């Protein structure tokens, strides 16, 4: 880490900062410029509380050098991680496709979607039993009843199940039914939930928060890994920006950036990232072309009667066409779908 | 709500949408323009699932007319709400001042801060026992031990206690020690936590999420009110923008907007909203001038040794000066501090 | 347009608004809801000054229904426009590739880049002679000298030239040397410059502003078209968001949205949109997969000595590899490159 | 400046970077950490092209230490600058108030506003003769006719005139009529216009760009100062964020940040910063309380007939009340109005 001293800071101030740094276990290397002095501090950033220094007289700013994550970074594990979801790999040559309705509504609805999804070769069924909704007056999900339907349809079709957990109290329950625990965008910094999922024995799909930087997202994954669960799948689902034409802004750049910084697989949710089924195809193609390891897509047999997010859901027949359209793109980047 | 049909939509499509709307309990009023047709739908927006319509042929867009919140809005309760925190009013002529360290670290630290805070006439002590931290390697709070220290110092000084709850499992525990339950920015859309706090018998301080719109924030408050707890204090703490010179951007406009739309009191946290103790005074003055009902400020006896947020904490003597500097501003807007 | 009246507005207020609307040439259709009244106003939005109504007693809000652009929209011209740049089509099956250095520095630099670019089959050479720079102390471009070098290298290689114009006073001069006039992101709302380029007889490449909405961007194009120049190529180059890991956030969603709303071709600049040459390939692939009509890429024979934007420039040999890597993606979406 | 080398960079790579830095005139100070090496480079950042280094093998990142502006910063001039607008000081104890209609429409309109403005003690009249408008179909201003009206009304009332210049070709013309040249938010990075205004002999009011960082804004001011004109007044007018309830987000934090970094005066435009006349008072009070040196406010005798921005304009009688309400706030921060 680098401590930048103010213009006009005194020799005494520089020395006081150096003493403090050495007390904290750092080696110090002051560099005297014409206008400003900076102090290089060598040691493990993760041990330090920078405000113990930022408040000292003459200090202007502190610049961290090391990335704050360890387990999710490429420094310890340089190879790409492939996560094994009960026989289905995520992160390898084959792209992972997760599809299904936003919310589980009934056995019929779920089964109808699942059968079509299965036909395309996709291997993972999504569906929400616990729904985080902006309004308390909106449908909040079928809860355990929904989990049971998911497990049942999963069993009958052979599809793996990914479903969201929104409360620390439900992690055990959801783990009994799901193959992958999903942590939603609004829970990305629910650190207790991250820790609980870190203790679970199921892989975790971690969606990026609406306004989370890539670094914060990787730190959220670090919570899960540091609690003991190495199986985290990152999911880019669009960020919040000033643009109002789309529900969110798909941060396609995040794919190469995450790939460079982390060994974890990353998939994209083009349904939330656009907010409109008409734009899902373009976003899905872009994601695969950019190097995503898979997709999570909302599919509903009757979007116009959906209890949630109908506007961005594909009808099953559109989903079948989408997967067809994605095949040549996957091939072009040496992947299969 | 208004349904906007696409240019070139057919009469059949318009009629199909009208039928659907009437099935959902709306009265319909089509308006035929030269290029586009729109359909006015009269009824309670809160009952409807707009995607049941957005997917219909010929529909371009849906424009809501009614605000989605009911209990927090001015329509049912037009008078400003004054919340009674065990004898301390929030929302009235007297500005509420909440101050204290970001995290509770020890009895000495807390007591030293509390005594100075008490001297200024402030009546509420803040301090985190459960800390949501971006990194799993940062100090996460003293937990129940911290709650006990808070309650003890509260008792000895007569200050009321506000402290954060981060997990649904802790709401009961925190309620035993705290006078106000704080829901932090990262938890603003932890809907389960909102509901649990809605069942608690303590007032709730609801911080605005980092990228929450004012509408989403009021909807989060609606969760608490609709669960039975009418005592919600809103707290603006800065939003996330492109600007990097400051930790967050204090959305000062939110004060008059919230005052116009809601009867709930709103306070400001200038410490988080700026991220730097040097800018806290300007932000605090601005907040009061703009009509805020109070302030929440980080005060630490020794910021340079703080385990969290030392950079934005005021030393107790600076806090004393700040309160002095705020008095004429409060007077200028006909408030007391 | 829809006028939303406040809850509690009186019949007199509604009638006064109706009268005003009729005076402005609208037909009015009031709809009385249980809580609120709205008034549908049928007529041409482009003629109206909504503030003449927004200030009236009882009015809460105005909701526009028609898009504010006419010539760039799909309503009048539904077919995709293909722009002919002196024999090179932009917007058709063949993807347009524009490449070259950020700034023209010397004949050698430009020729070395141009020869490699030509080899890949790309047909358009980019290079800045007038450079808008954040700092007055940075290199501002070779100006007319740079234009002459561009024209000369263009002549020798047969490549078409695209170069930026930053000042209304230079439009004529730049038009003498360039095949395409580029309007940069920082000039997107320099309305005088838009109008001047609208009177020029060269196609215009219009970059999206750093924080321009898609609607504002299309309105900027409307300035050019309405001044008489129908040949506008839109260029998405990343928007400004809270994310700091990348220079900008490539708004990949903008491609399907623009394609839906406008007949104009849209290309992407992955160099500015990422800000780092290592991420250009992923962003370029994504853009083509999403339906972009071409790419604008920074290529410099020696990025480490570039006077501007070296960090995001590809070396010529990397550019050759990139174009190779793009071929299968182009094919997958039925385009050629 | 600090060069951060990648983990695993070699000694040869470090030495190559050092050689390059020394060639560029820097002294180098390498610091070898356990994981990473950084190189301190002592010298004038403003002379360097960091991409000449960023592209070198083994380099991860470059961290600037010096602020990029010189003339606008506090390092050379530590005292607050007070600008003399033909006898009216801006930046001193007396707050500067600039008020008037968004666009000049007629002599009657302007005079009616001016007379009321004069009554309050305000000394500067604003009014647009050249209007930058999002739509080509909106009123673009009376141009020179508008300038003449401004000058005439200014003469008759004794008010100083501030008006916007949008084109380099008009700087001379506008300078003949105006006392202050205004550069609008959309022109903040029109670098040619900045330079032209830097050569003019009138003070310049520089509005902050919609998505300009404080650093970019100060760099824009640096363009004007470095071209020879030291008289720049900064004007915060709200930035673009995700919030849609307000037209812009007033960045109140910018006031203390700019005051800390620059000696130039800063005023606030609460009309644009909120976009709604009902919120102007709160924003204006907050601005003064936070330390702004003045205000620019839209006032129109008949907002409902305004050709531009009527929604955010105050009626003259409301403006009179506003100034009254601001007096005690000004007094509270030891200013006069």
Split at pLDDT 50, 70, 90, the class of C51 is low
Among A45-54, C281-290, D148-157, the least confident range: A45-54
Q: What is the pLDDT of residues A220-246, one digit of tens each?
A: 999 999 999 999 999 999 999 999 999
Q: Does D109 touch chain C (CB under 8 A)?
A: no
pLDDT at A177: 97
CATH class of B83-332: alpha beta
CB–CB of C326/C284 below 8 Å?
Answer: yes
CB–CB of B265/B82 below 8 Å?
Answer: yes
The DSSP output letter for B128 is B
Q: Does B10 touch chain D (CB under 8 A)?
A: no
Measured between beta carbons, the chain B residues lying within 8 angstroms of D213 are: 242-245
Split at pLDDT 50, 70, 90, the class of B137 is confident
User: Which residue in the set A31, A65, A240 is minimally distant from D42, CB to CB?
Assistant: A31
Interface test with B, best of D73, D210, D219, D243 (most B CBs within 10 A): D243
**In D173-288, where do the E strands start and end?**
180-183, 204-207, 232-236, 266-268
pLDDT at B34: 72
Beta-carbon count within 10 A of C297 CB: 28
Q: CA-nearest residue of chain D to A5?
A: D65
User: Does the distance separating the beta carbons of B38 and C65 come in below 8 Å?
Assistant: yes
User: Does the distance separating the beta carbons of C260 and A278 come in below 8 Å?
Assistant: yes
Q: What is the pLDDT of residues B89-108, one digit of tens each?
A: 999 999 999 999 999 999 99
pLDDT at D47: 53
User: Does the distance separating the beta carbons of A328 and C255 come in below 8 Å?
Assistant: no
Token pair, residue C100, equals 């070259």
Measured between beta carbons, the chain B residues lying within 8 angstroms of C7 are: 75
Classified as helix, coil or strand, B61 is: strand
Query: Is pLDDT of C135 > 80?
Result: yes
For B44-66, what is the mean pLDDT?
71
| pLDDT beneath 70: ranges in chain D | 44-51
Query: Is pLDDT of A263 > 70?
Result: yes
Rounded Cα–Cα distance for residues D53 and D17 (Å): 7
Q: Does C331 touch chain A (CB under 8 A)?
A: yes
For C134-154, what is the mean pLDDT?
92
Split at pLDDT 50, 70, 90, the class of A202 is very high
Averaged confidence pLDDT in chain A:
92
Q: CA-nearest residue of chain D to B248?
A: D253
Q: Is the dihedral of CA D152, D153, D154, D157 positive or negative?
A: positive
Q: Return the percentage of chain C with pLDDT > 90, whole number.
A: 73
User: Does the distance separating the beta carbons of A186 and B49 come in below 8 Å?
Assistant: no
For A163-180, what is the mean pLDDT?
97
Query: Is pLDDT of C48 > 60?
Result: no
pLDDT at D143: 94
Q: How far is D277 from chain B (nearest CA, A)?
A: 11
Instruction: Write down which chains contact chain B via at least 3 CB pairs under 8 A.
Output: A, C, D
Split at pLDDT 50, 70, 90, the class of C157 is very high
DSSP string, B201-266: SS-EEEEPPTT--HHHHHHHHHHHHHTT---EEEEE--B--S--SSSSB-BTTHHHHHHHHBSS-E
First to last CA, chain D: 44
Query: Is pLDDT of A36 > 90?
Result: no
Phi/psi zone of residue C165: left (φ > 0), alpha (ψ -120 to 50 degrees), beta? beta
For C241-249, what is the mean pLDDT?
96
Query: Is pLDDT of B186 > 70?
Result: yes
Q: Does C34 touch chain B (CB under 8 A)?
A: yes
CB–CB of D181/D175 below 8 Å?
Answer: yes
pLDDT at A113: 95
Q: What is the dihedral of CA A235, A241, A247, A248, to 10 degrees?
A: -20
CB–CB of C157/C118 below 8 Å?
Answer: yes
User: Does the distance separating the beta carbons of D32 and A2 come in below 8 Å?
Assistant: no
User: Does the distance separating the beta carbons of A239 and C253 come in below 8 Å?
Assistant: no
Q: Does C42 touch chain D (CB under 8 A)?
A: no
Can you give the residue ranges of every domain in chain D?
Answer: 2-63, 83-332
DSSP string, D48-113: --THHHHTSTTEEEEE--S-S-SSSBTTT--SPP-EEETTEEESSSBPEEEEE-SB---HHHHHHH
Query: Is pLDDT of A45 > 80?
Result: no
Q: Does D167 touch chain C (CB under 8 A)?
A: yes
User: Does the distance separating the beta carbons of C169 and D304 come in below 8 Å?
Assistant: no
Q: Does B274 touch chain D (CB under 8 A)?
A: yes
Helix (H) or strand (E) holding A151: helix A144-157
Q: Is the dihedral of CA D119, D120, D121, D125 positive or negative?
A: negative
Q: Does D279 touch chain B (CB under 8 A)?
A: yes
Q: Does C289 touch chain A (CB under 8 A)?
A: yes
Cα D307–Cα D308–Cα D314 angle in degrees, nearest 5: 105
Q: Does B336 touch chain D (CB under 8 A)?
A: no
Q: Which CATH architecture has domain A2-63?
A: 2-Layer Sandwich (3.30)
Rounded Cα–Cα distance for residues C6 and B71 (Å): 18
Q: How far is D307 from chain C (nearest CA, A)?
A: 7
pLDDT at A253: 98
User: Which residue in the set B7, B63, B242 is minimally distant from C63, CB to CB?
Assistant: B63
Minimal CA–CA distance to A223: which of A176, A189, A246? A189
Minimal CA–CA distance to D243: which of A237, A135, B210? B210
User: Does the distance separating the beta carbons of A33 and D65 come in below 8 Å?
Assistant: yes
Q: Does B19 touch chain A (CB under 8 A)?
A: no
pLDDT at B45: 56
């Amino acid at each position: 880490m680098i401590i930048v001293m103010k213009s006009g800071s005194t020799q005494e101030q520089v020395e006081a900062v150096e003493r403090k740094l050495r007390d904290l276990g750092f080696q110090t290397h002051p560099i005297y410029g014409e206008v400003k002095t900076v102090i290089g501090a060598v040691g493990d950033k993760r041990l330090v509380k920078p405000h113990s220094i930022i408040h000292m007289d003459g200090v202007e700013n502190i610049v961290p050098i090391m990335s704050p994550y360890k387990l999710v970074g490429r420094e310890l594990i340089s190879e790409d991680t492939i996560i094994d979801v009960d026989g289905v790999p995520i992160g390898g040559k084959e792209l992972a496709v997760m599809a299904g309705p936003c919310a589980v509504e009934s056995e019929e609805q779920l089964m109808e979607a699942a059968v079509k999804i299965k036909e395309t070769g996709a291997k993972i069924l999504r569906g929400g039993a616990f729904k985080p909704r902006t309004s308390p007056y909106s449908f909040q999900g079928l809860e355990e009843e929904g989990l049971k339907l998911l497990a049942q349809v999963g069993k009958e079709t052979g599809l793996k199940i990914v479903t969201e957990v929104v409360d620390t109290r439900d992690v055990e329950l959801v783990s009994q039914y799901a193959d992958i625990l999903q942590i939603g965008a609004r829970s990305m910094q629910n650190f207790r939930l991250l820790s609980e999922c870190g203790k679970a024995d199921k892989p975790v799909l971690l969606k990026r928060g609406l306004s989370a930087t890539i670094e914060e997202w990787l730190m959220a994954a670090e919570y899960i890994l540091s609690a003991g669960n190495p199986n985290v799948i990152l999911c880019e689902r669009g960020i919040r920006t000033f643009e109002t034409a789309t529900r969110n802004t798909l941060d396609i750049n995040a794919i190469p950036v995450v790939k460079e910084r982390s060994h974890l697989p990353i998939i994209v949710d083009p349904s939330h990232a656009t907010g409109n089924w008409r734009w899902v195809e373009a976003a899905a193609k872009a994601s695969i072309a950019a190097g995503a390891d898979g997709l999570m897509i909302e599919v509903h047999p009757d979007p116009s009667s959906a209890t949630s997010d109908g506007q961005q859901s594909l009808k099953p027949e559109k989903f079948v066409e989408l997967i067809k359209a994605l095949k040549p793109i996957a091939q072009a980047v040496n992947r299969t779908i």
